[in-house]
Structure 1
Amino acid sequence: MTDFLVPPLPHGFTHLVDIASSSNTKYDVVGVICDHLPPKELETKDWMIKVVLQSPDGHQFPLRLFYRNREDVDTITGIGNIVFVWSASKRTTRDREQELVANRINTLVVIQNNDLPDVEFAGTHITNPKFKYTKIPDRSTRKLTDLEQLYALHLSSWKRKETFASQAQTTNNSPVELSSLRVDRFYNVVGEVVKTWWESGASSVYSLYITDYTENPFFFDQGLIDSGSQSHNNLISGKRTVQVSLFSPHADWATHNISVGDFVWIRNLLVRHRNNSESIIEGKLHTDTDRPNQIDIFKLQEGDLRLLKLLKARKEYHELPPSPSEDLDKQSKNAKKKRDKKKRKEAERERLEQEELERQNQAPKPQQQTTAPIANPLVVPGFPLEILTDVVSIIEAPELQGTNPRTGKPITFPFVNKSYRAQVRVLDFKPDLEDFCQSLDDPEYNDIPMDTSATWNFTQCENRWEWAFYLLVEDAHPNLGQPREKLMLIVNNKNAQFLLNLDACDLRKNPETLKELREKLFALWGEIEESKRNGTHDLAITPRNRPFICCIQEYGVKNNEGGWNRMHAMTSTTIRK
């Protein structure tokens, strides 16, 4: 490949390395996309994408983009794409991370990965550089100058020598091994928790050490740890554990739900250098800026393939012969006795577990209702492989009982961050059907103060209405002898759009939409809405409407007293057309 003179940064553009220390608020920048998160649809129907730009000097800076059309987002997204953006705003997130922000008001030019010629042909383009690029929005009159196109050729030459492997997470939530973690990228990971603690001087930061038993040269070296010792919180020898710092709300949830020995899945973990160290990396799980109540750390459940893989890795690790460095201590008779004792305990535990499993298989099953009501085929839930859970098991979830990791005392948690599938029947709903949509301009409904200084806000959204209603449901198929437990389900804007396939509007001024809504919801509640209009609805009488299967998400919302309200939402369920 022929070398050519490296051109200067185009006039008016800022080097990525200078943005963090600059006092400016607007920036023209150019870089190559080296990583990105999956596109996310907001409740306003805008699309948000977060990318990481990189320059040839190795410096990176995050850029968050908001666009109306998914097609624009798909055009931008692509590892190796070159992006020019003008007048992007710099902001500091609530987690004190800096990023650039742009939306459809800003002009952006994308040169997709395959649209640039090889640099050895660049000579024909230097005096009259012409190659394909996309302007967003497409109505923009801006064109790349010759110097800007020449700089794009320079970036093309550099990026062909680099290997950009995106760690942005896919829709199947596939985790990567901890050995693959590198700085300034986002990952989905799984691991076993081997230590937990609250950070001193940072009351809202809760930290974990996790391991998947793979080694990473950028992890802190734990040194030699005796497997028989209990003074190290089950830490693993060598560079096999990574520190993960959890910020709110993840920290609050983890302290109530995560203990040493649990296996966890963490979504969108950002990897950074440890403070005052360029050779050690650690993970940070910040607050989601768009969904501040969203929890991105979960416990792996029994039967999860990711859990089975971790258990296999743990077993193989403990069966590894000691390394030469470990021979100095671990080959002593005392250490060998401890390992043998641990193996005998594990073998005995496995034997007892097998006996218990055989005993349960031979035990008579509890008496169940012999005939289950047939679920309404017009209502289609997600996660078809998930087993059904009765409502009483959701309300009395055993995960609500646990142990305080600081005191060791038993505690009752305010909620469980978990999804279920249940067969239910609607008993009631609120508010009135005509008020199932609420106006974002109504201060009694939308009490969130608007940030008028923000580059992008909800007032730019054309539709100022959103869905918001509740369904009171009961268990349609309880076990014999159990009452029909009831549960109030929230149906928010996003889940209602998926359920109904209708856009929110002022239903009192749109009789056709109200009529279509009434017809769709007849599949859920039968004659209940009509009986409420006629004044004959009676909760004491079991309705004749057909039961259906739906997905239910349990989560927690902080209240004004500083505690948590336990909430349940219908999600991932749609009414067939």
Structure 2
Amino acid sequence: MPSWVSSSSVRQRQSRDLITGFTSIRDLLDGAIQPGSLANVIGLIRDCRLPIKTKGADYKAMWTIYDLSTQHDGDTLDINIFWPLEHIPDVGAGDAVLVKQAKVQRFKANALSLITASRTVIHVFAASRILRPPNSARSALLPSKRHKEASLPTDKECDYISIFYHSISKDDLPDDEQFKTIKIQSLNVKDKFALLQDVRDGKFHDLVVQVVRDPFDLGDKITLYVSDYTENSSFFNYTWEGVRDLDLGESHGYGSQGPTSSGKQWIGPYGKKAMQVTCYEPHASYIRSEVKVGSWIELQNVQMKFGRNGAYLEGYLREDQNARSHRIRVRAFDISDEDNKDPRLKKALRRCRDYLEQKKADLERLKTDEFGSKRKREEPEKKVKNTRQRRKEKREQAQARNQLECRKEQALDLNPLVTSESMNTPITTVEDILEPIIYEPLVNGEVVRIPLPFVCRKYRAAVRVVDFRPCCLEDFACRHRVPLCDHMFSDDENESNTTDSPATEDEAVLPSRLVWEWRFMLQLEDAAPKTKEPSRFWVVVDNASAQYLTDLDASDLRQDTETLAKLREKLFTLWGDLEERKSREIAARKAAAAAKKRRPDDMPPLDSSDDDDVGHRDTNADGKGKERAFSNKPFSCCIMQYGLKAREDNPALVDAGAGKKWVRMYGLFGTRICS
């Protein structure tokens, strides 16, 4: 033992807590930290694989390290580094490494290892320059192009590196020449990855695929049906009509008409996009515990050949006879892991997403047997005389309209706490918004009047809220389903990949999670109605518009009382005491309904009566009803008109394709409560 290290110091450094915040390799391999968690370790380089290019922008390198806890039993820990080439340090045998915030992973059924995450920091100390204690090892720290000054190791960590390096056994380290040979040989890696469309008989390939039916366990082996959503002419053709699953009585699953029914779930895809793979031990054991229908997996060194009947190409994954240990060549991906940057998986998920969109369109065509044509709707072109006088008149008319609009808005006394976009746009009345649009094209020299079901148009209006739906504020937020692998797609791709109610089999293909979003409706009337019974209409407030309106994010309002209180306060600015009145009216309706159901002997005296009118009317002393005045101020808002397709059983009303008609809709946007 060196004279500068006391026995108590050695025992302390060899204890399970090597240094505060760090974990020994022995504890990590024994499961002290669960896969998916972050860990800090310190070790010595024993083996190294030089960086190789991945399918993405990064390079991959792998280091093998050991520490005081494993120096005598031969166990080591692998560190997988996915960084740009210029950020990966060049290490030598015996160099000390300090790793912070690396993710613990279990690759297939092998021992635990580490993989770099977005926050991972790695520092390397050159072995030849590490001074003996009590000197610090900071002078041996190699410069880093990746980490900033703030992430440099502390003085305490540098002092420990010096003690650690001069305490650990180095008997099993290769010499410099051996280590250089190991590094050079690590580059001799043949990429055997292939898409299913490119696999050929007699070849061995690596695959990234999805399991598209329940694995079939045959005891000593397991049969998988997999797809990466590419097509191969040598695969079985799964048709749309009468798709039947694997016949458990047939060894290879193919009959004269294809797979027959076994009750096993088939989630697609259809066509020649799926292949059968037979997996033997030890891979079968891993599949039993980690793989199910819908799982995305990597298969390595799969042999391709035609099956027993010689009709279709199949895959076979056998035991590695040349390996000293039972190496598992199956790995299940976690597609919800944001640090998973495997470009092969990302591309496969995109193909899967594209297939599901195409499948949905194909099913619609199969249901209708005819294609609905979109009717071209255009605004009539206004003939404008290109003269200086006409332009001058238009400018004068526009100025006059603007002055008139300003005077109108001042007279309306709009709520200053509610603002809208396009404040210079003239206000449109509700009557004008609801007026049907007539298209008048010239056909054979005659004007033909065609009423349009809707037009895509935006308005600015002065209105007040007179009702809302749902009746309960707690129901203003609803749950929405989004795919777990959203991070795999860019922002513009995510929009087309979300769905409120995915089909059961599509949910198995792309698993999803539930999030909360705003969804409610407001009934509006003109701020200055011209009649005693003003026109009213409903506008939809979607998630984005509601976020802008209230400056609040949707949540479970039955549990999130704080957000519910903020929402109620915001909407009070918009509609005054409308919620209170609506609550009283609902209670009155329920009381009236209960009174009608009472038995005759429970009825009140004949000279008494229930008030059935519980709408927007009060009762005077003379018993006559009068319209209840609204207390909320009118406000300026932006409204858009659009159309939606709805089912229609009456053929005379169908105008949007087979069995569909257009429905005119209105939506709120660009309006904000500033209080």
TM-score scaled by length of structure 1: 0.38
| Larger Cα-atom Rg | 2
